[in-house]
Amino acid sequence: MNFKTLATLVVLMTFVFVNCDQKKTAKEYKSTKTDSNIENDETPDGMVWVSSKTFLMGGKNDDKYAMPREKPSHKVFVDGFFIDAHEVTNKQFKKFVDETKYVTVAERQIDWDDIKKNLPPGTEKPADLNLEPGSLIFNKHAKGVVSMQNYGQWWTWKIGANWKQPEGPGSSIEGQDNFPVVHVAQEDALAYCKWANRRLPTEAEWESAAQGKFEDNIYSWGNKFEDLNANANTWQGKFPMENMSEDRFEYISPIKSYPSNNIGLFDMAGNVWEMTSDLFNVNYYQTLDPMAVLKNPKGASKSYSPSNPYQKEYVMKGGSFLCHESYCASFRISARMGMEPNSGSDHIGFRTVVTKDMLKK
């Protein structure tokens, strides 16, 4: 496939991704016991209670990696809610598929007439072969990268890649029940939520959960960058050509491979990106009243990204195993990136939330 075709597919399917191999096996950590997630008889299995609080959302003044789209920081109040202790796993998603016979977006034939509505006028149709069901995966053999703006150098469109065979035909999730499910589009995540009586978190809810007992921290474990490798699966070395695996994993890792935050949530940084229900708008924070405290904000009313102006995008949070300080540094709580809702990849997953009112229905 030439780069022009791949670039088109990147626009369609978003960017940044993972492979399901792992070099080493880590122990499974137990959740941190705190007064916010124990002795609550209403807490559903596998979830954690996030207490209502006011906290500072967005890029912090002393965060050298904070990007313009994360600024200015602003205070928000978020009501309490329950959130999954970890990302939805292959085992959990398989149960949903087995019971509903659901077919994910990556398993369906691609409809060019539908896709081209979100592309610049005059975009050429790729060859029919490249419109077969599949997904984008990270090219672990990327060498000789010339420009970091040329995403086609480290992404591969893989026909047949989906949640059941994350590296394409011949691969499988056998023995990976406790890995985050990937290659799921937002449409797939919403279908899972409907089945489970859950929903995706808002960006504010996600940041409240990542902060835990904190109110203005940069990372889910505190404010020290040097603690990154002990707390998150990210990239060490030279991105995207060499990952030194100083955090014990080269690519995606099982859930609970790293310590939880201080309320018992795992992988709020690194491993796989996590979807939210908020529209992605790079200018959204700049439209807010810095003196006001927003209550349960639900994000921008309109999506906007200058790098993808024709496509509606939603906010994803937390970064992935591909994040490196030289490239995106999205292992921070305030980091935010846009994702196209109708496609998935091998480094994007999701976790769900539920409120007490939802549980009464």
The helix (run of H) or strand (run of E) holding residue 338 is strand 337-339
Amino acid 148: pLDDT = 66
pLDDT band at 147 (very low <50, low <70, confident <90, very high): low
319: nearest Cα among 306, 329, 309: 329
Bond prior to 72 in cis (omega within 30° of 0): yes
Bond prior to 240 in cis (omega within 30° of 0): yes
156: nearest Cα among 139, 169, 171, 170: 139
105: nearest Cα among 345, 319, 320: 345
* pLDDT digits 0-9 by tens, 26-62: 467 776 544 444 446 689 999 999 999 999 999 999 9
State whether residue 124 is helix, strand or coil.
coil
The token pair at 2 is 């030439």
pLDDT band at 140 (very low <50, low <70, confident <90, very high): confident
In this predicted structure, which of 29-33, 223-227, 339-343 has the lowest mean pLDDT? 29-33
Q: Which residue has the higher pLDDT, 357 or 23?
A: 357
* pLDDT digits 0-9 by tens, 271-309: 999 999 999 999 999 999 989 999 999 999 999 999 889
- The residues spanned by each domain of the chain are 3-359
Average pLDDT over residues 149-176: 88
- Please state, in angstroms and as integers, the Cα–Cα distance from residue 264 to each residue in 37, 49, 197, 304, 332, following that order: 7, 9, 22, 34, 18
Q: How far apart are CA 64 and CA 76, in angstroms?
A: 22
DSSP 26: P
Tell whether the model's pLDDT for residue 159 goes beyond 60: yes
344: nearest Cα among 221, 162, 81: 162
Percent above pLDDT 70 for the chain: 86
Instruction: Tell me the DSSP string of 263-303.
Output: TS---SSBSSEEEEEEEPBTTGGGGS-TTS-EES---BSS-
274: nearest Cα among 179, 173, 180, 162: 180
Residue 308 CB partners (closer than 8 Å, separation 6+): 11, 338, 340
* pLDDT digits 0-9 by tens, 187-198: 999 999 999 999
Q: How far apart are CA 224 and CA 140, in angstroms?
A: 29
Q: How far apart are CA 17 and CA 272, in angstroms?
A: 8
Percent above pLDDT 90 for the chain: 68
- Please state, in angstroms and as integers, the Cα–Cα distance from residue 298 to each residue in 6, 78, 174, 307, 335, following that order: 33, 10, 38, 23, 17
The token pair at 249 is 């994993």
Amino acid 41: pLDDT = 66
For the chain, give the number of residues. 361
Amino acid 16: pLDDT = 35
Average pLDDT over residues 336-359: 95
Strand order from edge to edge, sheet including 353-354: 47-50, 81-84, 353-354
Tell whether the model's pLDDT for residue 9 goes beyond 90: no
Amino acid 31: pLDDT = 64
CATH architecture of the domain 3-359 equals: Alpha-Beta Complex (3.90)
Q: How far apart are CA 326 and CA 336, in angstroms?
A: 16
Tell whether the model's pLDDT for residue 224 goes beyond 80: yes
Bond prior to 44 in cis (omega within 30° of 0): no
**Is the full-model pTM beyond 0.85?**
yes
Residue 96 CB partners (closer than 8 Å, separation 6+): 102, 191, 192, 195, 196
Number of helices (H), then strands (E), belonging to the chain: the values are 7, 14
pLDDT band at 15 (very low <50, low <70, confident <90, very high): very low
- Please state, in angstroms and as integers, the Cα–Cα distance from residue 260 to each residue in 33, 37, 221, following that order: 10, 12, 8
Tell whether the model's pLDDT for residue 77 goes beyond 90: yes
Q: How far apart are CA 26 and CA 9, in angstroms?
A: 35
Average pLDDT over residues 102-110: 94
Mean of pLDDT over the chain: 88
**Which residue is it, tokens 């990007």?**
67
pLDDT band at 2 (very low <50, low <70, confident <90, very high): very low
In this predicted structure, which of 156-160, 179-183, 240-244, 246-250 has the lowest mean pLDDT? 240-244
| Burial of 183: CB neighbours in 10 Å, binned 0-12, 13-18, 19+ | buried
